Amino acid sequence: MASLGLSEEVKFKSTSGKDAMSLIDFVGTLRTAPFQEFGKEQRPDVRIAGRFMGQRGPFAKLQDSDGKMQLYMKKGTIGTDETEQSLNDSLVKLLHIGDFIGVEGFLFSTQTGEVTLHVQKLTFLGKSLRNLPIVKTDKEGNVHDAFTDPELRYRQRYVDLVVNPHVREAFIKRTKMYNSIREFLNEKGYLEVETPILQPLYGGAAARPFKTHHNTLDMTLYLRIANELYLKRLIVGGFDGVYEFSKDFRNEGMSRFHNPEFTQIELYVAYKDYEWMMNLVEEMLEKVAIDTNGTTKLQVGDNLIDFKRPWKRFSMYEAIEHFTGIDISEMDENELRATAKQLHVPIDESMGKGKLIDEIFGEKCEAQLIQPTFITDYPVEMSPLAKKHRTKEGLVERFEAICNGKEICNSFSELNDPIDQRERFESQLELGKRGDDEAMVLDEDFLRALEYGMPPTAGLGIGMDRLAMVMTNSNSIQDVLFFPQMKPESKPVPEAEAEGE
RNA sequence: GAUCCGGUAGCUCAGCUGGUAGAGCAUUUGACUUUUAAUCAAAGGGUCCCGGGUUCGAACCCCGGCCGGAUCACCA
């Protein structure tokens, strides 16, 4: 904590007559970025504002949202008369790392060639009472005293963002990713929509929900686990293409790939199928890679991943045969069970045919798919909302894109046969009765919507956090969420409370 | 939920076999008005995560707990 009292600082400011420059003057005025390409000649009347980030002799660093700029604050030169100069010299001595100041002066290039603002006017704008961790980088690019403790970084993201430029860059990339997708979909004429987060029935995925209660209606509501069923209602309503960036909530385990709240984009387009959607995904994610990183080739961990079209496509059976040498396409449940055992895939007795196939794939194939790859044609048991395959018995028209060993999207030709959909829900209910707590619940209103008729539709869901991890080369979902979920800090009981009321 | 690792100054970390709590940066004061992580000098700064236990003596050993990370499990 700074020993300099805040009141002292404020008093100083109020007596120094430095309010002449209004705050408005710093809003929307020049930032540091335009000056980084500065040449040799001086450039007058430059005004910037930001955090004071330390001083050595007359040279100081100012940091704003674009980066850092050097200031030259020579004693006795800031201000128009001696009184002001003397006050400013005192103010400079009182500055603390993290304080906000506004400065005005002329730009010049120092002996070492660094673009520097020679400060002629100085305005105090805000006080920092806490010591920011000082991260320094030397000529070789080595980082000293980095602010690295993950717990502190996540709990105090504001500090992380101030002192770790790579962190803010990752979040800027995340936003670019959203913008890129919006631009792509809007250009195709699809409508960005919003649907309920509080839902009386949770559907569209298999997951345990968060449950809450509405007082006035006196009813249970769930935080959505997906928005699929609502977007399809909109397709029934006549929109040709709708999408939503959807914050979804799943009351399940946490890991470096799972946060209880996360974001998916879901897209539904009428009169299309999953083949068409595969092409859209390739085109869109290639663009996203370029828009976020300037290239289709991204270094992710140890892997160089190339989003350039076209991507490899495997059916799930082909993928399993490719990685295990076993053709399971004609096997019944008992043969699949034997095969899983032979491959040392952990299984249990409750697993049906579809689950066994999915398990073999997940265990033997998924992690080995590094380059973006489409896996198509999933078992019908795993996909109660997907349309049955037009030629392959027991399968649905579904694909996932796998990248860096993880699923990044899921898509199918949507089931638009209301009778089939009712049967699928009913078999989900059967699974539920047999103890599958992930089985979907039957949504009568959704079925009613389908009964009015839904055009053939292609649907897509992309895990935005997973995609952001790839696009920013992040190892944990926490690195692409500003405020990842954490347990509360344990606080010592304040003394006032300990003394009683 | 399981296993492993970690928690010491604002930050990054040392701390040996259990024996007075340490460094660098940051902060404060003074000098310096210069450059480019780190000028010099001095000073201040600690619930060693919490609670028990063992011991003459615990940051260190033991037990329990809290928080975090990794891996696994779970999660289509």
The pLDDT score that the predictor gives to residue A143 is 79
The whole-number Å distance from A149's CA to B8's C1' is 15
Which nucleotide lies nearest residue A155, CA to C1'?
A: B68
The pLDDT score that the predictor gives to residue A39 is 59
Q: Distance between CA atoms of A108 and A318, rounded to whole angstroms?
A: 65
A25 CB burial (10 A radius; 0-12, 13-18, 19+): middle
Nearest to A174 by CA among A319, A86, A288, A333: A288
pLDDT along chain A (501 residues), means of 10: 39 42 47 57 79 89 87 87 84 87 87 86 86 83 84 94 93 97 97 96 89 94 95 97 96 92 97 97 97 95 93 94 91 89 82 86 90 94 91 94 93 96 89 73 93 97 96 94 89 35 24
The whole-number Å distance from A117's CA to B25's C1' is 26
Nearest to A221 by CA among A201, A250, A247, A203: A201
Closest residue by C-alpha to C1' distance, nucleotide B13: A145
> H or E segment at A421?
helix A418-433
Nucleotides of B under 7 A from a protein CB: 1, 6, 10-13, 24-30, 32-39, 47, 66-76
Rounded (10°) CA dihedral A178, A181, A183, A186: -120
Which nucleotide lies nearest residue A428, CA to C1'?
A: B76
Q: Distance between CA atoms of A395 and A381, rounded to whole angstroms?
A: 8
The whole-number Å distance from A135's CA to B39's C1' is 19
DSSP string of A84-102? HHHHHHHHHHH--TT-EEE
The whole-number Å distance from A488's CA to B60's C1' is 29
CA distances from A370 to A230, A305, A470 (A): 33, 7, 11
Which nucleotide lies nearest residue A487, CA to C1'?
A: B67
The pLDDT score that the predictor gives to residue A41 is 67
Which nucleotide lies nearest residue A97, CA to C1'?
A: B26
The whole-number Å distance from A148's CA to B9's C1' is 17
What sign does the CA torsion over A85, A90, A92, A95 have? Answer: negative
Closest residue by C-alpha to C1' distance, nucleotide B1: A253
The whole-number Å distance from A443's CA to B71's C1' is 39
Q: Distance between CA atoms of A201 and A395, rounded to whole angstroms?
A: 27
Supply the pTM of this predicted model. 0.89
The whole-number Å distance from A189's CA to B28's C1' is 62
DSSP state of A17: T
Structure tokens at A294: 């300037």
Which nucleotide lies nearest residue A252, CA to C1'?
A: B75
The pLDDT score that the predictor gives to residue A15 is 39
Closest residue by C-alpha to C1' distance, nucleotide B6: A149
Phi, psi dihedrals of residue A77, rounded to the nearest 5°? -125, 0
The pLDDT score that the predictor gives to residue A284 is 98
The pLDDT score that the predictor gives to residue A35 is 58
Closest residue by C-alpha to C1' distance, nucleotide B28: A3
The whole-number Å distance from A149's CA to B14's C1' is 17
Which nucleotide lies nearest residue A114, CA to C1'?
A: B36
Closest residue by C-alpha to C1' distance, nucleotide B24: A145
Q: Distance between CA atoms of A293 and A302, rounded to whole angstroms?
A: 17
ipTM of the complex, rounded to two decimals: 0.91
The whole-number Å distance from A300's CA to B69's C1' is 20
Nearest to A53 by CA among A93, A98, A91: A98
Structure tokens at A218: 């006196």
Which nucleotide lies nearest residue A138, CA to C1'?
A: B37
Nearest to A104 by CA among A48, A27, A50, A21: A48
| N-to-C CA span, chain A | 29
Structure tokens at A473: 């080369």
Strand partners, A199: A222
The whole-number Å distance from A240's CA to B22's C1' is 69
